[in-house]
Chains A and B, each alone.
Chain A
């Protein structure tokens, strides 16, 4: 196949500008729910095979092949099988699933029905973070409409397939994006990750076979049914097939959602987004949220697919491209992320619970210009004692911004020590800094006082 593919490939985002796009009539006017009959005409295993052939890989970060995940569901387990959609979008920088569910909740509902059919689930759940009221309204209404239209419930479209779908609102906990913590939360418990094995495919929700997929992964399934595995695989790169939503935020002229084939570069995306804000240069960016090691302007041409980003020392993650220009203190950014991980650590394992606390202490001192160069080694040692030793990926993720920022910006850490504080003016990084309309609200240097207050105020 040598067909050129367009720079942007709106599929999931294609109907977001439609009039009342969230309603069933608007969705059906574009062929919505057509994928159901296509799926019902196939054996469930053939639907699984189709998604495998398409090469759809998990859009929630790790990139595990979706069809393969489905095929792990045992055929001989006497318990019911469940599908759980992870819509607990909380990774800093990630903002794709929320607008998807706001603008086109039916895309996700249709994906849930097809995917449930494929894996033999008669019960499905969408676990959506609780902090998005209007998105939850739209999802619930979509499910209600789908029931009324016969897309959900008993004997869907006369196929004999039954499906009950519940929209479940979380209650504020980043850790619940971790799939086994999500399951505990969905069972009405504290959201703490589980030891594996057993894996969710064998003993997930209610100790029954369970598939957990990211919302964007499931939302991509109807398009594969409608246009074929080859069509999907015809986009993207060799091992990272298809399209994905790239979320640009921060110091770019037009931040937003850009749906493109996997493998697009930041240079291309910045061109589309109007570039870095005028008068400034790119300093650092995250390819896939704060848990993925940061990149710099050296990495503008890294193909944003699973392999390309990994080869350059980071992870594609959720394609959450947070762009920071030269007005931003990297230490301030990293400290704030680290405070986030400390706040969100569930407390189950010692390396993460205690380690993130110590990371905050060490970074806070450095940010104030206290300590010595040896504290950088201390930080790296602390990271080394968390990475790979924590119960789940939260602890690992907490080390990414620190180790990567020391790798690329060691001198900036040292500058804090030399100057006895932060050399940056935090007012310069604000949206309104260059507009002249700044509201002089006197933020303390680098937010250091506030950072202290945050630490006190939490949990």
Chain B
């Protein structure tokens, strides 16, 4: 079924955010998923129409990115990180347990259409390993039991909340937010999880700060006496002689730590 006029209008609205409308193709495909439940041929044609591209060109883009699905996705897309760190910390066990419990394999959906299970790559939450994502919200420090508990609640229609985010919405609602249409959940959840604050907490405890800055938390704690005691081992002396920062291209290149960066800059130089 062709997409309705409202969706077409929103697709054009996405394109209009950019100097060149084609830049909006990725968010447009997110919108297609929110409306269609996957990337459909009709959705591809709609994007192609709006952008003046061929469906093949749009399809070529849609098939490149793992977040775009060619098969219907359940209400909750459950992704278990099985990249190395999460895997060894327990992600493999969580993924295997969920496969057994739900009776589905990777990238498959339960018969009731509620849960699609997949394993995912590193989602930038390694300090909370093992990590699971539900509709791209963080579920931190998951265990096989807690994972099963969560998916069961979701199947029963119970409301659950991300460990570091909002109440879980459906996958289609999430895709709409990714397309650039805000929902009202931005103020839910904390600023940060405890692991994100590990260093800050220590700094508060020891009244450590960057030079000249008020130690974190000191303002709120009424700026307690900051004695510089007991932390002798924690400070590092800095050399008096400093060469300072690179002030020319050649030196900067020498000091960049990848051969690739060096060779590129050398090429650029010969370009000048």
Question: Looking at A23, A65, A199, which has the most chain B CB atoms within 10 Å of its CB?
Answer: A65
A3, B238: Cβ atoms under 8 Å?
yes
Quick one: which of B22, B130, B178, B244 contacts A431, CB cutoff 8 A? B130
Given contacts A5-B235, A14-B216, A141-B182, contact A336 B84 (CB under 8 A): yes
Contacts of B88 in A (CB 8 A): 250, 324, 328, 332-333, 426, 429-430
A3, B125: Cβ atoms under 8 Å?
no
B209, A10: Cβ atoms under 8 Å?
yes
B195, A257: Cβ atoms under 8 Å?
yes
Contacts of B236 in A (CB 8 A): 4-5, 7, 261, 263-264
B84, A136: Cβ atoms under 8 Å?
no
Question: How many residues of B are counted as interface, with CB atoms below 8 angstroms from the partner's CB atoms?
Answer: 124
A134, B97: Cβ atoms under 8 Å?
no
| B208 at the binding interface (Cβ < 8 Å) | yes
| B25 at the binding interface (Cβ < 8 Å) | yes
| B127 at the binding interface (Cβ < 8 Å) | yes
**C-alpha gap A339/B107 in the complex (Å):** 17
Contacts of A64 in B (CB 8 A): 252, 256, 261
Quick one: which of B107, B127, B210, B212 contacts A257, CB cutoff 8 A? B127
Given contacts A90-B124, A231-B212, contact A133 B165 (CB under 8 A): yes
**C-alpha gap A173/B240 in the complex (Å):** 45
| B138 at the binding interface (Cβ < 8 Å) | yes
A235, B211: Cβ atoms under 8 Å?
yes
A10, B96: Cβ atoms under 8 Å?
no
| B9 at the binding interface (Cβ < 8 Å) | no
> Binary interface profile of A, 198-216, with partner B (CB < 8 Å = 1, else 0)?
1101000010000000000
Question: How many residues of A are counted as interface, with CB atoms below 8 angstroms from the partner's CB atoms?
Answer: 148
Quick one: which of B82, B87, B90, B107 contacts A432, CB cutoff 8 A? B90
A254, B106: Cβ atoms under 8 Å?
no
Question: Looking at B211, B213, B243, which has the most chain A CB atoms within 10 Å of its CB?
Answer: B211
B121, A95: Cβ atoms under 8 Å?
no
B238, A4: Cβ atoms under 8 Å?
yes
Given contacts A52-B245, A64-B261, A133-B165, contact A10 B271 (CB under 8 A): no
Quick one: which of B22, B216, B240, B268 contacts A199, CB cutoff 8 A? B268
A134, B246: Cβ atoms under 8 Å?
no
A233, B244: Cβ atoms under 8 Å?
yes
A10, B24: Cβ atoms under 8 Å?
no
> Binary interface profile of B, 135-152, with partner A (CB < 8 Å = 1, else 0)?
111100101110000000
| A169 at the binding interface (Cβ < 8 Å) | yes
* Least CB distance, B262 to chain A, in whole angstroms: 10
Q: Tell me the chain A residues, 125-163 only, with Cβ under 8 Å from chain B.
A: 129-134, 136-138, 140-141, 144
> Binary interface profile of A, 61-89, with partner B (CB < 8 Å = 1, else 0)?
11111001000100000001000000001
B87, A343: Cβ atoms under 8 Å?
no
Contacts of B268 in A (CB 8 A): 72, 197, 199, 201
In the complex, besides A197-B268, A430-B93, 13 extra interface pairs with C-beta distance below 8 angstroms are A2-B240, A4-B238, A6-B209, A17-B217, A99-B192, A137-B166, A137-B177, A233-B245, A241-B245, A251-B89, A257-B197, A441-B144, A447-B87
User: Chain A: residues with CB nearer than 8 A to chain B?
Assistant: 1-11, 13-14, 16-23, 52-55, 57, 61-65, 68, 72, 80, 89-95, 97-99, 102-104, 123, 129-134, 136-138, 140-141, 144, 166-174, 185-191, 196-199, 201, 206, 227, 231, 233-235, 238-239, 241, 243, 246-251, 254-261, 263-264, 272-273, 290, 306-307, 309-310, 315-316, 320, 322, 324, 328, 332-333, 336-337, 340, 343-344, 346, 388, 393, 396, 426-427, 429-432, 437, 439, 441-444, 447, 450, 453-454, 457
